[in-house]
Structure 1
Amino acid sequence: MESLEDPIATFRVTQDALVLAWIASGVERQLVEQWMAEQRRARPDIDLRLIQLPHGGPPSASLLDLVADDLRRSRDRLVVPVRMFWSRDESASNWRALGTLLSGRDPYRPSPRRQARIVRSDPSRARIVEAEPATVTELDRRWRDTTSAGADRDFAGFVIRRARLALERAEYRLLGPEYKSPRLVKPELLASLRFQEGVRRIPGATLTEAGGILDEMATGWSRWSVDFVPWLGRMIFRRGFERDLDYDDADVSAMSEAFAVHPAVLLFSHRSNLDALVLAVAMRDNHLARAHLFGGINMAFGVLGPIMRRSGVIFIRRNIGDNQLYKYVLKQYVSYLVEKRFNLTWSIEGGRSRTGHMLPPRLGLLSYVVDSYAESRSEDILLQPVSISFDQLHETAEYAAYARGADKAPEGMRWFVDFIRAQGQRHYGKIYVRFPAAVSMRAHLGTPQQLRDAEPAARRLALQKMAFEVGSRIQHATPISATALICAVLLADRGRARTLEEIHAAMQDWLDYVERRDAPVTESAHRLREVQGVGSALDSVSGGHPVTRVDGGWTPVWVITADREHEAAFYRNTISHVFLERAITELALVHAARSGGDRPAAFWSQSAQLRDLLKFDFYFVNTSTYREHICAELAHVGDWEAAISAGEAGVVDLLRGKGPITAPTFLRSFFEAYSIVADVLGASAGAPPERDVIKQALGIGRQYLAQGRIRSSESVSTLLFGTAMKIAGDRGLLVGNERGRADLRDQVTGVLRDLDRLATPSTVSVVT
């Protein structure tokens, strides 16, 4: 047999050594023995011993004893891990690989007959991987530092685990960073003194039960799955979207450099079930280390669940409750991955935003990462914001139905097949992926020691601020789409149709504001400056997606009908963060104009109260920065403080000089939803269940809409009602408090009156 040259292994044994070789076939044994012979020819004076280990499954007790006996021979001898690496046939398609797998064969682990054929015809695909060796003394020290050092057999097991991990690292040099994956989490954690002591502190908990939880979370690992999932994601989104994802190359370059230094947590915005697949494709496209996705265990269905697990997805329970052992195991699992420098990822919002705007961050998993940092598991951890956005989505119809009270469709293989089919229904435009600058945990929280010394309240506040910074960077990196702007302009008319020329003319003020804010825009949004660009954008969203084109008259007109308002609102809400502070400024101005006394003080008081009302629906900067932003909104029209102090005339002139009025467009649906829930709570006694309040709010909202008491059908939404319940809970209104409920109703009613005044800015009625 011809000699095989391993291009990554230059190591030569120069002292007595024990070679631990994972061998799965006679062909592999022959190749390893050939390697041993080459080593002995180079250094005939050394003692070189070989112990063969099973490729799959744990070693037997007798094999552990054999390794233990050899380890006792000398403390200075090296332990050298080796195994065969079989490269995939690059000419084979993923469909062929899938067929091979479904037939019971692993395309990445060829059969012995196939191995022999490869060695004869394409020997470059057969390589011996040599991991970095370590002396018995070094391994013994690590064993005693990290585990409850026991019998020689336990030490042998530890050495074998370390050897396997070293081989994994060596293989990454062949495969690339995208294949990096934890392989021995369960045995490593169960053998850890820290882990064992933590389990013992939980009443009634056992290591056996903890091991079962680890099995539930375990990812497994398969090169085929790691390759297949990005391929699957690309296959799915290409059915309806542009073939290639839209990146900012500078973002990718900076992120790649940062990942080379510290472990990272990629926190992405979540508006579609495509998001995780898109992120997998993005990481593969840019040759970045794979991030292990934390997902709900409800997604671990059918044949897809095992494939996703083996690609690095960690499925966790959605409802942990008071299960202290599960929480502890999950926390230690996260800490282990951080310590071993594996990248992690999940949605910063905790779930999909079915309303379009980013939801406030969930801190659960992130708090575990912070705990890992406080324990000095890493010198720093990067929080990498990820913006994933779409020109259009087929899921908006589902979101609209859910908002109207429909049940959420259960996940399963049938659901997944329908999801794939839906991607091919029409063309949805582009997918945009942005990676803004990472947030350093060390920069925001201080050193691990400083974090450990911090008071719990201060620590939680710092965590919240850090999470909000990530969310803010995601928002500011998300490009504004033509679809979102078209929907915003048409929703502002609440059912009134416009011609192409009218839409183009109205669009210019909106584009001027976006340009002044220096907000990123898509190529299609850039083209809205031209009539032809507006026409192209309207064509892409017409046919009820979500705009309706009306033909047969003097000229075509476009309108968003009431039954499509929820879908259109989804797109409009994706850019609400750009106009949020402007809209609040408008509302506070109108409020100040109808206030007596110190009008500037009334303005600032109302802007603060509006911020507090909206805090469960939107991201806000800190108080001082927020005030600066509000000032900036008014600065471009002149001396706003003088204008507001002048009363009615000053405020009307100010409003007329600000361009498009945005508050009714972006905020009316939220405040109308809040008012409906406030009415339901005001008419309720005691502490009604949230489910009952939302159900009643749906009925009352439909009544109000029919009566004209609210203007927008999108306000009748279980999603917005859920946020209104959070406001009520924050104010202690869910357990009674009639006076507080009445105050909330009065406050929201006042805001709605101000929105009515803003609807016709040229005839603002100023009440003193």
Structure 2
Amino acid sequence: RADATALNQVAALLPGRNPYHPSERRQRHILRTEPARARVVAGESAKVSELRQQWRDITVGENPREFAHFVTRRALLAMERAEYRILGPQYKSPRLMRPEILASARFRAGLEKIPGATIEEAGEMLDELATGWSRVSVDLVSVLGRMLSRGFDREIDYDEYQVAAMRAALETHPAVLLFSHRSYIDGAVMPVAMQENRLPPVHVFAGLNLAFGVMGPLMRRAGVIFIRRNTGDDALYKYVLKEYVGYVVQKRFNLSWSIEGTRSRTGKMLPPKLGLMSYVADAYLDGRSEDILLQGVSISFDQLHETAEYAAYARGGEKRPEGFSWLYNFIKAQGERNYGRIYVRFPEAVSMREYLGPPHGPIAEDQAAKRLALQKMSFEVAWRILQATPVNATGLVSALLLTTHGLALTLGQLHHTLQDSLDYLERKRTPMSTSALRLRTSEGVRAAVDALSNGHPVTRVDSGREPVWRIAPEDEHTAAFYRNSVIHAFLETAIVELALAHAGRADGDRLQAFWSQAMRLRDLLKFDFYFADSAAFRKNIAEEMAWHQDWEAHIAAGDAEIDAMLYAKRPLMSDAMLRVFFEAYEIVADVLRDAPADIGEKELTKLALGVGRQYVAQGRVRSSEPVSTLLFAIARQVIADQGLLKPAADLAERRVAFRRELRSILHDFDHVGHIARNQFVAREAEARGARLQHH
């Protein structure tokens, strides 16, 4: 019964109590008391000749018994399709995948090309991948998901127009739902979001490390497909997984996984992983579907319990292995306090056909062209996810308080300083959460900082004349996670500020210096953030500068004019949003001064943590935030991209030059930060004068 209560759904696990397959005695009782619940359905019929032709075309069957099995499978599928017309698409489930795939002529043909491969071993791998939905589990997973997310507001925040658009799109083509990944809760949110909006269920890929104990069978019945993290040179496993994905796509079932491949422990969006995507692309190019939609899903939260774990990891801690004790503690922690709201957004889907061309097209045989198209396609999905993710109050408040480096602010100071950011977001039409919109009022700001107080990550001091709020040094990494989640909304305007500061001290053509530095900053930050392509980026930068009339002439005029432009700019965000990343780059560049050319990643991180702690103790960096294994991992990619990890005759000189460049950029941060503080002081003086005049 699709409208069963939560209690009915849980009771359905008991033998003989399944409301979808009641016992004969229960069926007779239902017919007597609730005859409207009983429906007789008939599956679509087919001629024996048609079935025999299908059997010959798609299987390797040779005898009447195998034909009988084929007809039985087709009859079961026909009855299920008839039932779904009554139950709705959220109960649609793949059935009989293992026998269908193993009997497939195309599967057997491919298997013969793999040395040493056997049908038995392939069958075992299909068992490992096996998944499916029981109707009970469709409803039960929703209940369990609610329990896992009980620390959040009960109502998930959706954009109803996006939901309607996605529902229409899913009626025409199969889809891969690619979600942003900040928490293990994402895996519970996805099925809940699909069921609440009466959308077809998705089969979520997850690592085998989560299939411990009874969780494996339970999650498999809930539509989870467990895959091996490292397949190495196992050609058979890769082939079986590829064919499995192709079968699911051909049968128009929807798949889902994290586009980032793993949880982002920094709050920023990670680069997309292409492994599973390549299998879906192969299925499309092989003609298994006329098109496949790549549907981005933005899942974001006001707060997360896992930020404490991420902060410990950033400081050099080890990741805890998953198991029953880990699961118990994780579920327990979700009920410790209120974490605010969960936001789910569905931006416009990306068409695989648009990027790969028609099935069996030329790109199918050109591996380099296919990989490039996959990269562009995946980045477009990730870009749309970012653009749809609402900026929330937690990120804005954390960003502001991190700039004070432990100094506390009053409610009034918080309120009037946040207004410039809100003005900018409204001007850019950036999506904002309700909590962010409420920052327009003092009451909304008070609600936001109180929700973050008690070290989550804000500390409130209320023993004096009025309460003040700060972020203590030990909570900076936690606050950084929230701040990082909103950087995408301010990224280009922050780069504008640094390019202006650079142009202000440049010799020669200052306008050219501005543009050169903007593009250079984009190149240095490309491993940390998503950017539009070069042409679109230049266009966006020009639009950012449009707030100042005759901006090109003012830049050309020199440093005083440029400083006036910076002072007039609202808000100034570069110091708040980007400084920490360049501080992390500089720490790693400092380590490279006397490091061997081919220093390993672990050794580089270990040395960087040591040098970083020294920098903090000496006040050479503003806070402990850049001393992070997570940031150092990206910094190493930046260093490698500059060619500073390969032996060369001039390696030492180039390493010194790069460190000098980073220090020059940090000097630009200092300059913009000084102007921002002058803005703050002037605003404070104006507010104080207004209060005195009022009294």
TM-score, normalising length: structure 1: 0.84
Matches within 5 A, 1:101-112: 108-112=20-24
Report deviation, 1:452. 3.1
Structure 1 residues without counterparts, runs of 5 or longer:
1-86
**2:107 alignment partner in structure 1:** 195
**2:542 alignment partner in structure 1:** 631
CA distance in 2, matches of 1:689, 1:529: 49
Q: Which deviates more from structure 2 when the two are superposed, residues 450-459 or residues 539-548? A: 450-459
Report deviation, 1:567. 0.9
> Which secondary structure state, in structure 1, belongs to the residue aligned with residue 14 of structure 2?
helix
**1:9 alignment partner in structure 2:** none
> Which secondary structure state, in structure 2, belongs to the residue aligned with residue 621 of structure 1?
coil
Q: Return the index of the structure with the highest Cα Rg.
A: 1
Query: Which AA in structure 2 matches 1:232?
Result: L
Structure 2 residues without counterparts, runs of 5 or longer:
679-695
Asked if 1:150 corresponds to 2:62, the answer is yes
**2:443 alignment partner in structure 1:** 532
Q: Deviations over 1:358-378 (max 9, x none)?
A: 112111111211121111111
Q: Deviations over 1:229-272 (max 9, x none)?
A: 1111112213x111111111111111111111111111111111
CA distance in 2, matches of 1:528, 1:91: 38
Query: Which AA in structure 1 matches 2:451?
Result: S
> Which secondary structure state, in structure 2, belongs to the residue aligned with residue 370 of structure 1?
helix
Matches within 5 A, 1:222-237: 222-237=134-149
Equivalent residue in structure 2 for 1:485, among 393, 396, 400: 396
Q: Deviations over 1:27-81 (max 9, x none)?
A: xxxxxxxxxxxxxxxxxxxxxxxxxxxxxxxxxxxxxxxxxxxxxxxxxxxxxxx
CA distance in 2, matches of 1:750, 1:272: 37
CA distance in 1, matches of 2:373, 2:551: 34
Contact 1:544 1:564 in 2 (8 A): yes
Contact 2:12 2:18 in 1 (8 A): no
CA distance in 2, matches of 1:675, 1:472: 28
Matches within 5 A, 1:91-490: 93-94=7-8, 96-97=10-11, 100=14, 108-115=20-27, 117-118=29-30, 121-122=33-34, 125=37, 127-238=39-150, 240-450=151-361, 452=363, 455-490=366-401
Contact 2:11 2:17 in 1 (8 A): no
Q: Deviations over 1:148-200 (max 9, x none)?
A: 34233332222222222222222222322112121122111112222222222
> Which secondary structure state, in structure 1, belongs to the residue aligned with residue 445 of structure 2?
helix
Query: Which AA in structure 2 matches 1:654?
Result: M
Query: Which AA in structure 2 matches 1:437?
Result: E
CA distance in 1, matches of 2:255, 2:304: 26
CA distance in 2, matches of 1:142, 1:749: 70
Query: Which AA in structure 1 matches 2:90?
Result: E
CA distance in 1, matches of 2:644, 2:48: 65
Identity across the alignment (%): 58
CA spacing shift, 1:731–1:327, aligned 2, 3 Å: farther
Query: Which AA in structure 2 matches 1:528?
Result: L
Q: Deviations over 1:586-618 (max 9, x none)?
A: 112222222222222222222222111111111
Report deviation, 1:470. 1.1
CA spacing shift, 1:143–1:681, aligned 2, 3 Å: farther
Asked if 1:679 corresponds to 2:590, the answer is yes
**1:53 alignment partner in structure 2:** none
CA distance in 2, matches of 1:324, 1:431: 40
Report deviation, 1:479. 1.2
CA distance in 2, matches of 1:418, 1:539: 25
CA distance in 1, matches of 2:473, 2:338: 24
Q: Give the root-mean-square deviation of aligned CA atoms.
A: 2.2
> Which secondary structure state, in structure 1, belongs to the residue aligned with residue 353 of structure 2?
helix
Q: Deviations over 1:444-478 (max 9, x none)?
A: 33222445367433332222122111111111111
CA distance in 1, matches of 2:100, 2:274: 27
Aligned pair count reads 675
Query: Which AA in structure 1 matches 2:93?
Result: S
CA distance in 2, matches of 1:328, 1:609: 42
CA distance in 1, matches of 2:21, 2:277: 37
CA distance in 1, matches of 2:642, 2:98: 44
Asked if 1:746 corresponds to 2:657, the answer is no
Structure 1 runs (4+) greater than 6 angstroms displaced: none
CA distance in 1, matches of 2:165, 2:203: 20
Q: Deviations over 1:526-581 (max 9, x none)?
A: 12112222112111111111111112223221111111111111111111001001
> Which secondary structure state, in structure 2, belongs to the residue aligned with residue 203 of structure 1?
coil
Contact 1:183 1:220 in 2 (8 A): yes
CA spacing shift, 1:625–1:478, aligned 2, 3 Å: same
Equivalent residue in structure 2 for 1:659, among 570, 574, 593: 570
Query: Which AA in structure 2 matches 1:758?
Result: V
Contact 1:263 1:338 in 2 (8 A): yes
Report deviation, 1:686. 4.1
Q: Deviations over 1:499-523 (max 9, x none)?
A: 1111111111111111111111112
Contact 1:677 1:697 in 2 (8 A): yes
CA spacing shift, 1:187–1:756, aligned 2, 3 Å: same
Query: Which AA in structure 2 matches 1:563?
Result: E
Query: Which AA in structure 2 matches 1:593?
Result: G
Contact 2:9 2:139 in 1 (8 A): no
CA distance in 2, matches of 1:121, 1:360: 57
Asked if 1:704 corresponds to 2:615, the answer is yes
Report deviation, 1:727. 2.3
Query: Which AA in structure 2 matches 1:620?
Result: F
Q: Which deviates more from structure 2 when the two are superposed, residues 193-202 or residues 710-719? A: 193-202
Asked if 1:556 corresponds to 2:467, the answer is yes
**2:688 alignment partner in structure 1:** none
**Higher RCO, 1 or 2 (CA under 8 Å, sep at least 6)?**
2
Contact 1:88 1:107 in 2 (8 A): no
Q: Deviations over 1:82-128 (max 9, x none)?
A: xxxxx579367146426515xx9756444455455555555555554
Report deviation, 1:386. 0.9
CA distance in 2, matches of 1:576, 1:545: 20
CA distance in 2, matches of 1:351, 1:742: 35
> Which secondary structure state, in structure 2, belongs to the residue aligned with residue 386 of structure 1?
strand
> Which secondary structure state, in structure 1, belongs to the residue aligned with residue 78 of structure 2?
helix
Contact 2:9 2:136 in 1 (8 A): no
**1:6 alignment partner in structure 2:** none
Query: Which AA in structure 2 matches 1:210?
Result: A
> Which secondary structure state, in structure 2, belongs to the residue aligned with residue 270 of structure 1?
coil
CA spacing shift, 1:106–1:447, aligned 2, 3 Å: same
Contact 2:364 2:370 in 1 (8 A): no
CA spacing shift, 1:337–1:96, aligned 2, 3 Å: closer
Contact 1:100 1:107 in 2 (8 A): no
CA spacing shift, 1:284–1:686, aligned 2, 3 Å: same
**1:43 alignment partner in structure 2:** none
> Which secondary structure state, in structure 1, belongs to the residue aligned with residue 329 of structure 2?
helix
Contact 2:180 2:259 in 1 (8 A): yes
Report deviation, 1:215. 0.7
Contact 2:460 2:470 in 1 (8 A): yes
CA distance in 2, matches of 1:290, 1:762: 49
Contact 1:445 1:451 in 2 (8 A): no
